[in-house]
Each structure stands twice: as C-alpha cells, then as structure tokens.
Amino acid sequence: MIDETRLIEIKGVSKSFGDTQVLHDIDLYIRKREFVTLLGPSGCGKTTLLRILGGFEMPSTGEVLFEGKDMTGIPPYKRRINTVFQKYALFNHLNVFDNIAFGLNLKTPEQLGCKSRAEMKQEVARRVNRMLKLVKMEGYEKRSTNALSGGQQQRIAIARALVNEPEVLLLDEPLGALDLKLRKEMQLELKAMQQQLGITFIYVTHDQEEALTMSDTIVVMNHGRIQQIGDPKGIYDEPRNAFVADFIGESNIIDGTMLQDDLVRFSDTEFQCVDEGFAKNEPVDVVIRPEDIMLVGEDVGMLRGVVESVIFKGVHYEMIIESNDCKWKVQSTTMQPVGTRVGMTIVPYNIHIMHKMPVLKEA
C-alpha cells in the first residue's frame, strides 16, 4: 500500500516561541499513502510540528521538503495540504453544503475541468455529494452547522478538507471531543477512508490506543524531541526508552543493574534477559508490561509478594503487588484477594532493558 517515495521530509527543524524552544532538531520523513501519527503528551510539540506542515507556523531553523522541493516559505493557501482542526472550525454562516464546497468555489472552472461557471456549479455539487456520502452525512446539505452534534460537525470538517483532494491531510486531535464509543467508530472509519482514498494522513493525538489502532507509523514525541519512530507493534513491543514504554500502554519501570550480557539484577534478584551490549554493572531501566507478569504459587515464583490492591477493569483485574519494597502492577484474568501471598515469574524476552533517560536526552 505505502509508496516508498518520500513525500515530505523534515530536516533539522527547530521552533522557538520567545525563549521557549518547543521543537528540537526534528528529522522525519513521511511516505506517500502513509498513516503517520504524532503521539505525545500535551506540550510535547506535536501540534506545532503539524502547524509547520500546514504552513501556519514557520520553523525557526531547518527546512521542510515536499516532493523534494523546499516548501518552508509557502503559505497555507498554496500547499496541496488540508487540515482538520481540533475544534472543527466550521463556518457557521454557511450551511453544510457551502462549508464543504468552500474550497472548490475558490477555484476556477478550468481547475475543476469545466468549461463554464454553470458546468462548474454541477461539478461542485457532484463532488460535495460524493464527500457527504463518504462521511455518511447525505441529506444534511441544507442544515445549519449549529444544528449538528459534535460527531456530525467532525464529519463535515473532514469532508470539507478531503473534497479538495489534498496530497496530505493533517488532523489535529480530531476525535478529542467525542465520547469513547463514537471515537472508536470514527477511528475505524478514518482508517478506512485513508485506505480508500490513498491519501497521506498525518494525525496528532495524545491517545496511545488511537495511535496503535490507526497508524502505519507512530512518532512518539516528548519535550519537543522525537523519542521513537516505528510501527505500532514495534513501538509497543520494543520501546526504546522508559518514556516510550510508559506512554505506550502501561509499564512497570524499575531501576536495575546490567551484570553482564543477558543477565540483569533488580529487586534483589538476578534475571535472565535477552539484551546485550551494555557496559558491565551499568545502571539501567527495566521495563516489564503488567500483562507479562505471571502469577504463580508463592514457592515457585522468581519474586514473592503480597497483593496490596485489586481493581476490576472489565477484561482483566489489575493488582498492585508489593515485593522487596517494590510495587508491581500486574494484570491477570484471575483475581487474587488482597493480602494473598503470591509468586511472580517473567520470561526473559518480556524483560526490556533500557539505558537510563539522561543518556538518551543527549542523543
């Protein structure tokens, strides 16, 4: 599906507002027909990066290439990029039809392949109706945008951007204001639209589950720097540092010491692992997913502990287990009552060893 050609290349982009630097030396490329998600907590710079791509902000240093040509100084109205804004930004003085037709009506008949104004009017109506069908809003042409629900407004905002047939669609937390169920439906619809239309989507969100569901590539950002770039599975299974591990899904992050290749010590116990290339006795972050800890009998576990609290989460129970002054978050489908003494085992390839964060900050 994804073309290997690099559609957009971001080279050494930094951005400061006054004294605050919000983006540090960002390098990133985006391929044709790729669904890329910029993921990170609020204030990580993801929206600023998106706004630079849209042409609403200029990078302080660095350049942005579009099909190999520098587009840094090109204003938004000359880019083949359209945006779906966080708060929809629909034009309330226009009805649904005129909102979607807005971009098309700014074009000349020739640009739409028409010979006359009258012919163009028909062409605009045809394209708008096709979009209404795509976003499942047929029959709403004459409605006022004020009379629509949040989810419906979002659909119109998407249609208004897509009708211009952009090369790239930028989406700034478009589902943030919707309820959970609607959000999940829209995630699947958006992904389906993207595949059907073959357009590159660049999607900003702070919701890791959303990112995992929709993306071909996830770019995890924090403090204005890219922490990791990879496909959803790669990022979830092999987080590059403790921040990514903590942000994508839930994690236990414990201080440990790398004794030698494939052997780590934490919680006063030595464990086999599958990581190599660390210095001898190097202090490391040990990351273990809550679902990767297996509860066993107290006498056969690698670690022993006491169940401190239990929360029912629907699919599983989440338990906090205290062991050797360490608190472990464990997810399991079988519940152990509070106060039970349990044993825990972890298989070597579920133990992820990471360099300590300060080392990574310099990188």
Partner 1 sequence: MKVRSHRAGKLLKGLWLALVLAFLYIPIIVMIALSFNASVSRAAWTGFTLDWYVKLFKSKQIMAALNVTITVAVIATVVSTVLGTLGAIGMHAMSTGMANLLINVSYLPMTTPDIVTGVSLMLMFIFVKVPLGKWTMIMAHIAFDTPYVLFSVMPKLRQMNPNLYEAALDLGCHPAKALYKVIIPEIMPGIVTGALLAFTMSLDDFVISYFTSNTDQNLAMIVYSAARRGVEPTMYALSTLMFIVVLGLLLIVNRRNGLEDIA
Instruction: State the nearest-atom distance from the C-beta of 67 to partner 1, in Å.
Output: 19
- The rounded distance, in Å, linking the Cα atoms of 95 and 140 is 9
Distance CA 173, CA 246 (A): 21
Q: Evaluate whether 101 touches 128 at the Cβ level (below 8 Å).
A: yes
Please, are residues 271 and 263 in contact by the beta-carbon 8 Å criterion? yes
Applying CB under 8 A, does 103 fall inside the site for partner 1? yes
Query: Token pair of 335, please?
Result: 């519940």
Smallest distance, partner 1 to C-beta of residue 107, A: 7
Contact flag: residue 76 with partner 1 (CB under 8 A)? yes
Binding to partner 1 by residue 6, rule CB under 8 A? no
Residue choice 93, 115, 117, 142 for contact with partner 1 (CB under 8 A): 93
Q: Which of 4, 42, 69, 75 binds partner 1 (CB under 8 A)?
A: 75
From the list 84, 97, 70, 44, the residue with the least C-alpha distance to 243 is: 44
Binds partner 1 by CB under 8 A, chosen from 5, 61, 92, 269: 92
Q: How far is CA 124 from the centre of its chain?
A: 34
Rule CB under 8 A: choose which of 106, 118, 274, 357 binds partner 1: 106
Amino acid at 20: T
**Cα–Cα dist 112/97, whole Å:** 18
Residue 301: closest CA among 262, 342, 338? 342
Taking contact as CB under 8 A, which single stretch among the options 52-60, 192-200, 236-244, 245-253 is the one that binds partner 1? 52-60
CB within 8 A of 342, min separation 6: which ones? 295, 296, 297, 298, 301, 304, 305, 306, 307, 321, 336
User: What pairing do the DSSP bridges indicate for beta strands 294-296 and 282-288?
Assistant: unpaired
Return the number of the residue (131 or 258) whose C-beta is nearest partner 1: 131
The DSSP code for 5 is: S
Cβ closest to partner 1, residue 79 vs residue 183:
79
- Helix or strand (DSSP H, E) at 266: strand 263-266
Stretch that binds partner 1, among 79-87, 125-133, 185-193, 237-245 (CB under 8 A): 79-87
Determine, following the binding rule CB under 8 A, whether residue 29 of this chain makes contact with partner 1.
no
301 interacts with partner 1 by CB under 8 A: no
Q: What track of x and - describes contact with partner 1 for positions 136 through 175 (by CB under 8 A)?
A: ------------------------xx--x-----------
Nearest distance, CB of residue 124 and partner 1, angstroms: 13
Q: Is 47 in the site for partner 1 (CB under 8 A)?
A: no
Q: Is 82 in the site for partner 1 (CB under 8 A)?
A: yes
Strand partners, 26: 13
Q: How far is the CB of 159 from partner 1 (least distance, A)?
A: 12
Q: Which residues bind partner 1 (CB under 8 A)?
A: 54-56, 75-77, 81-83, 85-89, 91-93, 102-103, 106-107, 160-161, 164
